[in-house]
């Protein structure tokens, strides 16, 4: 009885009746305890919703889906270029010499062979151990000023404009995040696209990093792509061009 009296004492009832205003029949205010209970329930439900929906993970998963789509779009475009061009060049406007001779060739030819990155040139990548090569005999990291160009001036130096009917893609996709944390120490976790090629066979590989728990743990797409690295999502016509060394590319 005393408890009930105390609650009533702290009632926050907004209803006040005066002689000039009549109170609705049967109306009554909420007690402070009732308000606190409602607020607590709303707070608990809000937290539960955030946990269940996990908007940050949903965004990461959406970006991963974009990466999977992007890399496969580029694979299709490059495949079309290879099959419909009489003298295709995968390593520059008119050269394949920047591609590795074979997929098995190590990236150890004094910087002859290149790994292309979708990062725009703000500062050049200075990592000397790309794909795990011995420092000093590194693959060169190539970047483009305007990565999205499809006329060989983009981050993949293939001229899609030479195709009959024009380029099958209007722009070269770049990673939705497209950053490298340390240009002197590129890491496999950096969210950026990579590309490399080989001469015999004339082939290419594109690697992307994924970030969502859904696609890197529960359903690890990086381990199911048929490639030689579990650190990357790999697509291409030969998936042994990058990531042949222990730990894979850029570790
Ligand atoms: Ca893989
Ligand atoms: Ca690979």
pLDDT of residue 101: 93
In a domain, residue 248? The reply is: no
Supply the pLDDT for residue 106.
Answer: 83
In this structure, what are the phi and psi dihedrals at residue 42, rounded to the nearest 5 degrees? -60, -40
Q: Would 29 be classed as within a structural domain?
A: no
> Is the model's pLDDT at 1 over the cut of 80?
no
pTM given for the model: 0.81
The average confidence (pLDDT) of the chain is 86
**DSSP-assigned letters across all residues of 173-220:** ---SS---S-TTS--TTS---EEEEETTTTEEEEEE----HIIIIIT-
Q: Which ligand is closest to the CA of 216, given by its number?
A: 1
The answer to whether the beta carbons of residues 173 and 195 sit under 8 Å apart is no
In the predicted model, is pLDDT for residue 17 greater than 60?
no
Q: Is pLDDT above 60 for 19?
A: no
pLDDT, one tens digit per residue, over 182-200 is 998 898 899 999 999 999 9
Is residue 154 situated within a structural domain? yes
Rounded to the nearest angstrom, the distance between the alpha carbon of 180 and the centre of ligand 1 is: 20
* Residue 40 located in a structural domain: no
Q: Structural domain of residue 153, as residue ranges?
A: 55-236
Residue 38 lies in a domain: no
- Count structural domains, the chain: 1
Across 79-105, average pLDDT: 94
Cα of 210 vs centre of ligand 2, distance in Å, is 15
Q: Does residue 5 belong to any structural domain of this protein?
A: no
C-alpha 207 to ligand 2 mean position (Å)? 7
pLDDT of 129 reads 80
- Domain annotation covers residue 67: yes
Instruction: Report pLDDT for 139.
Output: 78
Residue 184 lies in a domain: yes
What pLDDT is stored for residue 138 in this prediction?
72
pLDDT of residue 30: 83
């Amino acid at each position: 009885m005393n408890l009930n009296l105390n609650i009533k004492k702290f009632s926050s009832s907004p209803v006040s009746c005066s002689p000039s205003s009549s109170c609705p029949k049967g109306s009554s205010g909420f007690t402070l305890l009732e308000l606190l209970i409602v607020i607590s329930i709303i707070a608990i439900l809000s937290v539960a919703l955030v946990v269940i929906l996990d908007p940050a993970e949903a965004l990461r998963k959406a970006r991963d889906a974009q990466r999977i789509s992007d890399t496969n779009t580029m694979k299709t475009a490059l495949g079309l270029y290879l099959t419909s061009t009489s003298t295709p060049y995968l390593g520059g406007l008119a050269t394949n010499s920047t591609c590795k001779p074979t997929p098995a060739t190590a990236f150890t030819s004094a910087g002859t062979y290149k790994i292309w990155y979708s990062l725009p040139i703000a500062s050049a990548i200075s990592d000397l151990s790309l794909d795990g090569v011995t420092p000093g005999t590194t693959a060169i990291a190539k970047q483009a000023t305007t990565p999205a160009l499809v006329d060989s001036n983009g981050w993949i130096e293939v001229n899609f404009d030479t195709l009959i009917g024009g380029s099958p893609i209007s722009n070269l996709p770049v990673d939705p995040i497209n950053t490298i944390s340390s240009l002197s120490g590129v890491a496999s976790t950096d969210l950026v696209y990579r590309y490399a090629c080989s001469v015999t066979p004339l082939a290419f590989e594109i690697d992307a990093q994924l970030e969502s728990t859904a696609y890197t743990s529960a359903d690890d797409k990086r381990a199911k792509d048929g490639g030689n690295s579990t650190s990357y999502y790999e697509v291409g016509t030969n998936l042994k061009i990058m990531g042949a060394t222990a730990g894979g590319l850029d570790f």
